[in-house]
Structure 1
Amino acid sequence: MSRDDSNRRKKASGRQGGNFKKNSYARGNAPIKRSTAPKQASDPNSIRLNKYVANSGVCSRRDADIYIAAGNITVNGKPITEMGYKVKLTDEVKFDGRLLNPIKKEYVVLNKPKDFSTTIRDEKGKRHVSGLISNASKSKLLPVDKLEKEDTGLLLFTNDGDLTKRLKSPINGLRKIYHLVLDRDLIAADLQKIKEGVMVDEKVVRVQDISYIDNAPKREVGIEIFSSRAKILERLFNQLDYKIVKLDRVVYGGLTKKDLPRGHWRFLTEQEVINFNMVK
């Protein structure tokens, strides 16, 4: 018997005895690898972990995937390395031990028009600045500070609570420039007094600069100030028996009204956000 005949008999014997095993995976016969990870129930209130991390401002989604794979992210105390893992907004997610906030931080500047309130608890039916930026974000963006209803100019909105807290009472102050219209001409002697510092509520108010507006009546002035005290300009001029008829904030921090018409808004640039986050 030849070697070939012997091999054919062995194969036939294997088929008859039921011991024949297919070893070709060409037609979909490859063994299926089943995941051992527990399946997550679909939840409309859950989001992918990489998006959660990216929204917190730590890094991009692509970088978040790298950190997840490396085991840097924990969910409710347990390291998660599974790609596509979903978390709930109520879960405790940490990056290298630091608790993350999944709400994407957004920043909008508005050139506020007259007759819009910035007070949160405003009377029903009154026009509020939030309506002017309603299309900017799905998040609730709040003004960092206030402008009176009749005032105009730059107003910053954000959902970044830490930044809002710092800007409301910065240690070194925040640069603001206003165009004011007074109820009467500002005499040179009073302008000089303001430059030197005026006592308001037993505390001297320091201004960086004040000057008359070019080619305008002397009741119009430009004033640069860093103070964050409430209604400080109104109180300052009241101290000298003047009333502010119009107030327009033309500079706020590093923001200006350039290319931003009254009633319009825009998102802050990445560099502008960085600049504000440097404020202590």
Structure 2
Amino acid sequence: QNRQGGYNNQNRQGGFNNRNQGGYNNQNRQGGFNKNRQGKPGMRQNQYGMPQGGKSFVPRPKRIEYETEIPDPNAQIRLNKFMSNAGICSRREADEFIQQGLVKVNGQVVTELGTKISHSDTVEYDEKVVALERKTYILLNKPKDCVTTSDDPNGRTTVLDLVKGACDERIYPVGRLDRNTTGVLLLTNDGDLASKLTHPKYVKKKIYHVWTDKDIAEEDMQRIADGIELEDGPIHADAISYATETDRNQA
């Protein structure tokens, strides 16, 4: 009876009923936001005991700068990698351009794959000199009524219009979102990364959250999973489900 354990011990009681209670309800050594902090005499305080009033400031987002290694002028690099680093295309696409005779090194057409060059060599693609650019990445929350292209013949707003002036490098959208689709879109001049994110062999999956103007029937959900025929061919989802347990117009 004197050394009884558990919740019935009146002297050394443990658990939630301990009178020597810590945390926010401790009257003697109270911590957290309720700790009594006195401000200057006459100064108004908020519910947390902190001085009240004045303007609130939100930190401005800072542009992240990465250190770039200075390349060794005598080191050699594969031609396709050089073109990819310059933001022209992916390495695979560079190989195709090389085989098509569209690439020159020091004024001479190069068609042999695996060709290596030095940083002092002059590379031309499509009769234009290729210059190295630092790799740039812009993550855009694409709004509606905006097309994913670098130039629209119909004069509609493009994703590049939205990020105009954000950087000096030539960037391109990775993949595409339909005009009225919103969400994350990456723009970059990193050809290798763009290829890894979009080429089918890397099996990168996308998740779409869709709202409809009416409830989606279960049989329609099954049809989408099994595959449906569109104007440009058949399509099916790898997986599909309702977004919530109660709302049937979100998938």
TM-score by length of 2: 0.45
Higher strand share: 1
Q: Which has the higher contact order (CA 8 A, sep 6+)?
A: 1
Whichever of the two has the greater Rg, that structure is 1
TM-score by length of 1: 0.41
